[in-house]
Every structure is written in C-alpha cells, then in structure tokens.
Structure 1
Amino acid sequence: MDIRKLDRTAVLETVRLVRQADPTHWDLPTPCAGWTLRRLVAHMAGQHHGFAAAAAGGGADLADWRPVETGGDPSAAYRDAAWTAIDAFARPGALTREFTLPEISTTVRFPATVAIGFHFLDHVVHGWDVARTLGVPLELDEATTEAALAFALRVPDDERRLVADPLFRPALPPPSGASTLDLVLTSLGRSPDWSAAPAR
C-alpha cells in the first residue's frame, strides 16, 4: 500500500469537490456539528499546512495548524493548501521522518506512514463532509475506501471521543447493507444518512 498515493487521491478529490462550491454554499451546515462549509474548508486547509510543517521536521507549534483565512476565493486557497501537503509528502526523505502531531499527542512522534495515514483518513471523511454539504457524490474507488476503513478501525473508540469537540464521535451502528464508505463513516461517528435539509 502506497500511503502517499492513497493520500494524494483523497486530497485531490477534496480539491475537486471544493471547486464545485459557489458563493451560495459557504454558509451551509456540514456534518461537522456547528461548522459551516467555509469553516470546514478553512480547517482542512490548516491541516494541510500543519502536516506539511510536520513533514519538514516542524509542526510542534499549534499555530502551524490553525485554520486558514480563505478570503474571497476559498476554493483557490484550499487548492494551494492541498498542494502544500502533497508536495511536502513527496519530498525525498519524507517517509523516513517522524512527525510531530500536537493535536493528537504532545509527547509521541509518529512514523511518517502512520502520520500520512491520519491525513489520508481525515480527508476521505472530510471529502464526504463536503460532498454531502454540496449534495454531490464522493468519487473514490473501492480500493481507496477499503484502505480508509483499515485506518478507521484502528482509531480507538474510547473516552477521548466523549470530550468536548473530539476528533471523532463515538462509533455508530452501521446501516443494513452498509458500503465500505458507510463503515468508515459509522466507525468514526458519522451517519451516512446525514442531510442538511431540515426535518419535516
């Protein structure tokens, strides 16, 4: 499994999706409770910059991870941030580093393949968040979603999911006939049936 290839696939899918947003979409709610699409995309862009810093040997400063001010052209700002991470992971030596990921641990450093796996999983899930917000399909092949499921099932479903603003909510039971992507989502506390439409 080439984690950099998987990550690039997932991240470029998020770029494709974000490009479809127009000015009427940025204030829409997303599956991330309390977050508009603009806030979600700013967070995703910040994560790209943070991981790029970690790939270069930095990343310990939480300022590296702060959401990006996307300004008047959020799609362009997001695209640029995405390529910052893709390019950082592709540099010689990146796969031999240990990454500092302070949002996960301030005491443990992570092997590059594990850290890039976190980034990959995050952007499969956030890609789905963006797709659901826009009402368009997430276009990832089965091999990519199967790899995402393998990473998702390694995420502990413990008390850390019960704190305020957790990285992931407690796992949900999968629906009958769940797809691989559905299993990724439910294992991380997202409902595949989420909709921005108000209940009737």
Structure 2
Amino acid sequence: MTNIRNTPSSTATTSATTDDPRQGLLKAIALAGRTAAAVRPEQFDGPTPCTEFTVRRLAGHLVAVLRRIALAGRGGDVMSLPTVADDLADSEWQAAWDAAVREVEAAWADPTILGRTLTLPFGSVPGAAAAAVWTSEFTVHTWDMATATGQRPDWDPELVAISYAAMKRGLPIGPRDGAPFGAAVDVDADAPAIDRLVAWCGRKPQ
C-alpha cells in the first residue's frame, strides 16, 4: 500500500504536493487538526466567521467531511453521510478525528484514485480535482476556526495557492445562490494570500 502520510517540509515534499494532490489534502487536514486540537474548552460555544457553525459544530463538520472523503475514496455516496458529526462529546472529538484521518489515508492510498470519477455534492469530478476542492475546504475552515479562537496558523503558501485556484474555478464572481458562500469581499491586491482566499469565499479578513 502506498504511504501518503505527510513528511517534513523539503523541496521533495513541495514537489510531491504539486504532483500528487493527495499530499496537499493531507497537509491541509493536518493543519486543521492541529488548529482544532488547540481550541480551549470555553471556546467551543463561540461563533465562527462561517455563520452557520459555532466552533463546536465546525469541529463536527470537519470530522464529517473527513468521513465523506474516506467514503468517496471507497467508491461510496458522500451524500449518504451527514454534513456534521454532532453526536460527539467534546472529549470524543480527538479520537473521532484520528480515526477518520486513518480512514482517509487508507481509502486514498491507491494513486489510481486521482483518475477515478468521484461524486461530490455539487457534481462528479476526477479524484485529483476532488482532492483540490477538499484541500480548499479544509484551508478555509481552518481560517474560520483560527479566527474564532485567536490562533495564527503557519500557512503553507503552496496549499493556500492550491485552495485559491480551486475556489476561483468553483465559485462565480457574481451571485452565489445555493452555494454555502457569501459574495466575495474586496481586499487589496497585495493582501496576504490567505486573506485573498477567504475574501473570495465571502469572509472578511481581519
């Protein structure tokens, strides 16, 4: 079985992230996991920039997305799973996260998945494109959680670039009726890349 776990940063790792979208996805998942694990208990009921989620529900959403990614890798229907794992007690979140990450690693270990057609909620796309979409989802939601809890993640420029490109392709400039994103927010052209990404997704950078 091919090992797609993350490795320490290096030129080789950067190249692998570009050539193999699974590496970028796992790096985005890892950053989201570190950010969520650093949330303090008193912060779970707080709001996030993603207005439909509190911090707790956002954490549950990320677990649910992991489970959907794993199911997609196994050829299943992601719509059969809920969008939020809201049955988890705060003390159960980390174990559920770790188990879901292992499921993703196993389900996506075969590189042929990148050429297979996967069905996502918005349509059918090749596995490589699905990995980029989910990379962007984890990156944006990591920003949501970090902003809500006063954290400053160490953003990977390549992952932010991958995410921005995916969101620019997937989200129209104009009305976004039916999409879980507000209208794009104006930011300076020289704003940090992460600010430009989240602004395109309807968030207001701080």
TM class by shorter chain equals 0.7 to 0.9
The aligned counterpart of 2:99 is 80
* Whole-Å separation in 2 of the counterparts to 1:124 and 1:161: 20
The offset of 1:176, in angstroms, is: 5.9
The aligned counterpart of 2:70 is 52
Consecutive unaligned residues in structure 2, runs of 5 or more:
1-17
For residues 145-165 of structure 1, what are the alpha-carbon distances to aligned partners after superposition, in whole Å with 9 as ceiling and x for unaligned? 1222211211232676234xx
Which secondary structure state, in structure 1, belongs to the residue aligned with residue 118 of structure 2?
strand
Q: Does structure 1 residue 186 correspond to structure 2 residue 199?
A: yes
Q: Does structure 1 residue 98 correspond to structure 2 residue 117?
A: yes
Structure-to-structure mapping, 1:61-140, within 5 angstroms: 62-68=79-85, 69-73=87-91, 74-101=93-120, 103-105=121-123, 109-140=124-155
- Number of residue pairs matched by the alignment: 186
* Whole-Å separation in 2 of the counterparts to 1:83 and 1:126: 20
Q: Does structure 1 residue 36 correspond to structure 2 residue 54?
A: yes
* Whole-Å separation in 2 of the counterparts to 1:36 and 1:137: 19
The offset of 1:88, in angstroms, is: 2.0
The aligned counterpart of 2:184 is 171
Consecutive unaligned residues in structure 1, runs of 5 or more:
194-200
* Whole-Å separation in 2 of the counterparts to 1:179 and 1:82: 29
For residues 166-194 of structure 1, what are the alpha-carbon distances to aligned partners after superposition, in whole Å with 9 as ceiling and x for unaligned? 3221111113631111111111111112x
More helix by share: 2
Give me the TM-score of the superposition, normalised by structure 2: 0.82
Which portions of structure 1, spanning 4 or more consecutive aligned residues, are displaced by more than 6 angstroms?
none
Give me the TM-score of the superposition, normalised by structure 1: 0.84
The change in CA–CA distance for 1:160 and 1:91 in structure 2 (over 3 A counts) is farther
The aligned counterpart of 2:44 is 26
* Whole-Å separation in 2 of the counterparts to 1:8 and 1:58: 20
